[in-house]
Amino acid sequence: MTRKKTLSVIGKPLRKVDAMAKCAGETVYADDLNLPRTIYAKLLRSPHPHARILGINAARALKLDGVFAVLTGEDLPQKFGIMPSTEDEEALAVDKVRYAGDPVAAVAAASETLAEKALGYIDVEYEVLKPILSIEEALASTEESQRIHTWNRRANVQKAVSLEFGDVEGGFAGSDHIFEGTYFYQGNTHLPMEQYCAVGFYGPDDKLTLWSSTQTPHYLHRALAKVLKLPASRIRVIATPVGGGFGGKSDPFSHEICVAKLSMITRRPVKITLSREETFYVHRGRHPVKMWAKTGVKSDGTIQAMQYKTFLDGGGYSSYGLASVYYTGALQTVTYKVPAYKFEGVRVFTNKPACGPKRGHGTPQPRFAEEIQMDEIAENLDIDPLELRLKQLVEANSVTINGLQISSCGLRECIEKVAERAEWKKKFRKLPFGHGIGFAASAYITGAGLPIYWNNMPHSGVQIKLDRSGGVTIFCGSSDIGQGSDSILVYAIAEEFGIDPADIRVVSADTDLTPVDLGSYSSRGTIMTGNATIQACGKLKPLLLEAASEALEVPADDLEFADGQVRSASLPSRGISFAECVVKAEGKHGTLGATGSYWPPKNPREFKGSGVGPTPAYTFSTAIVELHCDSETGEIKIDKVWIAHDCGKAFNPLLVEGQTEGSVYMALGEALMEEQIFRKNGLHKIPSILEYKSPTTLETPEIETILVETIDPEGPYGAKEAGQGPLLPVVPAVSNAVFDAIGVRIHEIPITPDKILRALEGRLKAVSIPQFEFPAPLKWQPGEGVKVEQKS
Amino acid sequence: MLRLPEFNYIQPRTLREATKVLADLAPNAMLVAGGTDVYPKMKRGQFAPRHLVSLRGLRELKGIRQTKDGLWIGAGESLTAVSRHRVIAKRLPALAHAAESVSTPQLRNMGTIGGNVLVDTRCNYYDQTFFWRQAVGFCMKKDGQICLVAPGSEKCLAIASSDTAPVLVSLGADVILVSKQGERRVKLEELYRDDGIDYCAKSQDEVLKGLLIPKEALGLRNVYLKLRRRGSFDFPILGVAATMDLDNQGECRHARVVLTAVASAPKVVAEAATLLQGKKITKELIETVADAAAKISHPLDNADLDYWYRKRMAKVFTLRALAQLAGLELVA
């Protein structure tokens, strides 16, 4: 069988498979589901950020006509959480609430209005406790009585880590210059257009179906089984089309468990749609992180050693926090050669909504620090910031000091291209006061190397069914969150079988019907489902070719799949249609179907915490931001952003550009205005889409996207991720551009106009770093066992 | 999602009928025109009227036309219509700009100029859901006893948040109010009170029929500068409206500066008239006016961005507004 040399579908700007339905308003989101006999649920939320529950009495609510059921914590006592080692959440608080907005009871009633009313008839007696609202307070509250949770070892410290790679002390000792700085990356939320919604139905067959706007139907399936104490085999989770996820719909949530349980009690479909305000309380967004960064360099700017301390404000629960804290130290080594590296990180509990993964998960914060520090090193040593980086870039097929294997690497090309398009040399340090340009680079993962819970099964599975009509159906557990994962499956099949994408159907994200895919997180979709799909097609091809070979009397190794045909490559007029080929193959071999699986390459590292960082392939991004800053008002206007992204291979350049532009937009919001902030009494300060400032189209500048293709050996057709990485360089590039414009360094985001004025007057205080004794570092070096596998 | 509570919706066909209905139901009724502020506030429990009396479709509240007295603007005209009106766009760019800076295109298509002039004062402790306000402990503007922004304050400190009001005050506009008892015409600025709760002197049984901008105002130079985070959606966290008239020698015959979002009512900066009238405009003079503007601005921690920053911007924006009208170059 000859491999096609040219691609006919991959790389083409095709329409997304669900685009027309979305444009026409016909996509059925979770809130659009209207099952017969549906009743409606609402959650009663705690007004206190930290309190003991002394008693709950729902008797008055249950007396209301039209109220079907009320749940409280004791109905669902089983703890759960996305990370198996830190399961500390309850569907409804059992004896303690940990943030203002923590659910304490759930009502199911005949209407949403009635359910809302019934909440007012549930009597909860609280003993109010002093809330812990900052990293400093959390670290200072070492008394047992001040604990938010009791399972963790040190009071209000969820996790503290310390890792050391290479000779850090020697690296700093051998440096000509040492640069140190402190930084703060404010927390912010995902702000998806679609609020959370779920519908649960426990049917007469004693089986539960849950429809939910979720990025991770498989993990939700497991959590439901655990908390509801039902066999997983009797639970079906269907992820409805997700109207924006960005990481915020990756945990199993209280509202999902509650509608399931309420349906088990009432035997009616139960629906819940959270309000915008509640969406701010569910959160799981970007961690506020305080950082201390130190870099030692030779006088020519080459890095000798790097050291980071990070302090993460985790909120009331663990969520993905265990991974988040490691991610704040994982990828600093993946852009420039760092011969020695030390990282210490700590995530604390505070009485605020839990933080979790948001686009870039734990890596945008240290990247912000690293890229500003690189800019400062360049400034100080009088080296162009691009030159400083170009002289010490990581290379393809290399291993970093912390043992991460880099396969393809287009970082140099990303830097060169973005500089050329933005006319960097003409502008940098040459623009008038108030007008500036800034640069930053970054790296990101294409899918986590390890699953959330330990198992040796594939990370992604697909099943393909061939139909006598010539149609192909693919079944896959991945959930389309707008990024186009359904489309990716279609493009891969169309490419492999040479057929029209319109002849392919996708059934996705339904745990009854589709093989497991771990979900739409960590930018794993394209590489994992794409490879699994190619593998499944590869299993079917010999069957098809054998049938076609017989029918056409052409040797199988001269046959190709192209233009809807199976035909002779040397004599293309000799062929049969794909549909005819399927008919012949089915007659010969019986019903046609195949599965495909994908496992990422084995993690080459073997120490505690080594699961965070490895990936099948790293992507690289660079950004140049040009802006104007009004020194009297402190207002910033972004003129233009140039962004280059090494995506391996653009599966569909339209989708890659869309993801890249979306990342830039989201990054600008984080850089300039978005803040998840709280009042002194622990209440969210601005839980509305009006007062939580997220940029509009009017604040979004022209974005010029440059796609760099490095054809990664592990990626399907060479493809790597595009959904998250391009966010990372934009935020520090804004800060670096502000320095170029008005000569002040801003080490914290969002860069609001008042901070600009303070900085211009020398009144902006340096970010303070808390005192904390980290554990002794775990020392590790890439050993003999770590080599780059040369992939074909 | 948040649901609307139950209420009676009454749709009068004439202004007369509206005033009659209002006179009968007054304490338990609210007027609604575009509904862009009323309905969300009902969902959040900030307004709880038993009856809503709709002003939509009242012909008496429609029309923008030049009369012998000046320019008449019907209170029921949409903000979009006001911002796009030929005479307004040409002669009163400040008003056109203020109207088109309110919220978003969709809301400007629904929202009316009358609704904007009378729009409720705003505060981050008040413009929240029932759940949130209950959790924080309710403020005196709704359901509570004290002001949560400044617990020592005897009055509510919610912020005047209309974009068009400061411009109309700077233009010397009158309002025409109609009740069952008849019609009255008052200066718009006299309608406002510096009290976040009792911010408007319109009585409950009165309907705002329209606005009259005096003929002389159509010849004034005018400008409106708005401070907000984004180019859409946001209410003003500072607004500076200014009008000016210069004679042929460049001497100032008239100058007026009105601020919004710095108190519970639009604030007239008296120094604009006293210091500038009869003089040639200089940078020093307008700086003094700008300092006076900052001095009477009392932003508090109940809106977007730091209050010290907003106070400072009162000066910068006033300076810029006056410089623009006087044709002065400000060199930083």
Query: What ipTM was predicted for this assembly?
Result: 0.96
Q: Which residue of B has its CA nearest to A434?
A: B332
A198 with A336, same domain: the answer is no
pLDDT per position as a tens digit, B79-123: 999 999 999 999 999 999 999 999 999 999 999 999 999 999 999
Whether the upstream peptide bond of residue B105 has omega within 30° of 0, thus cis, is no
pLDDT tens, position by position, A166-202: 999 999 999 999 999 999 999 999 999 999 999 999 9
Q: Which of A100, A116, A673 sits opposite B135 (nearest CB)?
A: A100
Measured between beta carbons, the chain B residues lying within 8 angstroms of A681 are 136
User: What is the C-alpha separation between A352 and A316, in angstroms, rounded?
Assistant: 5
Kindly state the percentage of chain A with pLDDT values over 70.
Answer: 98
Instruction: Determine the structural domain holding residue A742 and report its residue range.
Output: 289-450+605-760
Indicate if the pLDDT at residue B287 is higher than 80.
Answer: yes
Residue B26: what pLDDT? Answer: 85
pLDDT digits (tens, 9 = 90+) for A54-94: 999 999 999 999 999 999 999 999 999 999 999 999 999 99
Q: Residue A259 is part of a domain; what is its CATH number? A: 3.90.1170.50
Residue A161 lies in a domain: no
Query: Are A683 and B304 a contacting pair at CB < 8 A?
Result: no
State how far the Cα of A248 lies from the Cα of A190, in Å rounded to an integer: 6
Tell if the CB–CB gap between A754 and B306 is shorter than 8 Å.
Answer: yes
Q: How many domains does chain A have?
A: 3
Residues A698-726 have a mean pLDDT of 98
Which of B1, B230, B306 lies at the smallest CB-CB distance from A696?
B230
Cβ within 8 Å, pair A757-B312: yes
**Local confidence band at A2 (pLDDT 50, 70, 90 cut-offs):** very low
Same domain, A318 and A337: yes
Contact between A753 and B309 using a beta-carbon 8 Å cutoff: yes
Which chain B residues are within 8 Å of A683, Cβ to Cβ? 132, 135-136
How many residues comprise chain B?
A: 332
**A672: nearest CA partner in chain B:** B229
Residue A275 and residue A302 share a domain: no
Write the residue in A45, A277, A754 that is nearest to B305 by C-beta.
A754
Is the CB of residue B273 less than 8 Å from the CB of residue B293? no
What are residue A612's phi and psi, to 5 degrees?
-95, 120
> Domain for residue A38, yes or no?
yes
A101 plus A236 within the same structural domain: yes
Q: At what angle do helices A578-589 and A525-552 cross, to 10 degrees?
A: 80
> A586 and A611 share a domain?
no
**pLDDT at residue A636 in the model:** 98
Q: Which of residues 700-719 of A touch B (CB under 8 A)?
A: none
Q: What is the mean pLDDT of residues A575-580?
A: 98
Same domain flag for A211 and A91: yes
Cβ pair A581, A568 in contact under 8 A: no
Band of the pLDDT at A605, cuts 50, 70, 90? confident
Closest Cβ opposite residue B231 in set A113, A686, A698: A698
A633 and B229: CB-CB below 8 Å? Answer: no
Say yes or no: A615 and A716 in one domain. yes
Contact A683 B308 (CB under 8 A): no
Q: pLDDT at position B332, please?
A: 52
CATH of residue A742's domain is: 3.30.365.10
Kind and range of the H or E element at A479?
A: none
Tens digits of per-residue pLDDT, A585-600?
999 999 999 999 999 9
Residues 297-316 of B with CB under 8 A from A: 304-306, 308-309, 312-313, 316
Q: Tally A–B CB contacts below 8 A.
A: 68
Collapsing DSSP states into helix, strand and coil, what is residue A331? coil
Q: Do A632 and B332 touch (CB under 8 A)?
A: yes
Averaged over A341-367, what is the pLDDT? 98
Q: How far apart are CA A9 and CA A499, in angstroms?
A: 9
Model pLDDT, residue B330: 80
Q: What is the DSSP string of B263-331?
A: SSS-EE-HHHHHHHTTSB--HHHHHHHHHHHHHH----TTSSS-HHHHHHHHHHHHHHHHHHHHTPPPP
The alpha carbon of residue A556 is apart from the nearest alpha carbon of chain B, in Å, by: 60
Residues A507 and A371 in one domain: no
Report the residue of chain B nearest A48, measured CA to CA.
Answer: B135
Contact A275 B129 (CB under 8 A): yes
Structure tokens belonging to residue A249: 């719909």
pLDDT band at A781 (very low <50, low <70, confident <90, very high): confident
> What pLDDT, on the 0 to 100 scale, is given for residue A606?
83
Q: Kindly state whether residue A653 falls inside one of the protein's structural domains.
A: yes
- Are residues A455 and A438 part of one domain? no
**The domain boundary residue, chosen from A225, A258, A282:** A282
pTM score, whole prediction: 0.97
Q: What is the mean pLDDT of chain B?
A: 97
**Any CB–CB contact under 8 A between A85 and chain B?**
no
Assess whether A293 and A440 both reside in one domain: yes
Q: Do B231 and A699 touch (CB under 8 A)?
A: yes
**Phi, psi (5° rounding) for residue A387?**
-60, -40
Looking at residue B18, what is its pLDDT?
97
Model pLDDT, residue B283: 95
Put simply, whether A630 touches B (Cβ < 8 Å) is no
Residues 534-593 of A with CB under 8 A from B: none
CB B2 within 8 A of CB B129: yes
Residue A187 resides in a domain = no
Residue of A nearest to B131 (CA): A47
Would you give the DSSP letter of residue B129? -
Alpha-carbon A293 to chain mean position: 24
Any CB–CB contact under 8 A between A265 and chain B?
no
Q: What is the rounded average pLDDT of the residues A395-409?
A: 96
The answer to whether B68 contacts chain A (CB < 8 Å) is: no
Q: Is the pLDDT of residue A4 over 80?
A: no
Nearest beta carbon to residue B132 from set A195, A634, A687: A687
Q: Is B134 on the interface with A (CB under 8 A)?
A: yes
pLDDT of B139 over the 80 cut: yes
Give yes or no for residue A784 having a pLDDT over 90. Answer: no
Distances B258 to A590, B115, B240 between C-alpha atoms, Å: 83, 19, 6
A475 by DSSP, 3-state: which? Answer: strand
Task: Say how many C-beta atoms besides its own lie within 10 A of residue A169's C-beta.
Answer: 12
Whole-angstrom Cα distance, residue A320 to residue A738? 33
Neighbours of A128 (CB within 10 A): 12
- For position B331, what pLDDT does the model report? 66
A359 and A458 in a single domain? The answer is: no
| Rounded distance between C-alpha atoms, residue A201 and residue B123, angstroms | 42
Architecture per CATH, B59-118+159-217: 2-Layer Sandwich (3.30)
Tell me phi and psi for residue A200, to 5 degrees.
-115, 140
> In chain A, what residues touch B134 (CB-CB under 8 Å)?
47
Q: Which CATH class is domain B221-326?
A: alpha beta
What was the pLDDT predicted at A314? 98
Q: Tell me, yes or no, whether A85 lies in a domain.
A: yes
* DSSP-derived secondary structure for A348-410: E--SSPPP---TTTTSHHHHHHHHHHHHHHHHHHT--HHHHHHTTB--TTEE-TT-PEE----
Would an 8 Å CB–CB cutoff place A742 in contact with chain B? no
Q: Mean pLDDT, to the nearest integer, of A606-626?
A: 95
Is B331 an 8 Å CB contact of chain A? no
Query: Could you tell me if residue A444 is inside a domain?
Result: yes
End-to-end CA distance of chain A, in Å?
A: 18
Residue range B191-203, pLDDT digits in tens: 999 999 999 999 9
How is domain B8-56 classified at the CATH fold level?
Answer: 3.30.43
* A498 shares a domain with A433: no
How confident is the model over B162-179, as pLDDT tens digits? 999 999 999 999 999 999
Chain B residue numbers touching A255 (CB-CB < 8 A): none
Chain B residues in contact with A695 by the CB 8 A cut-off are 230
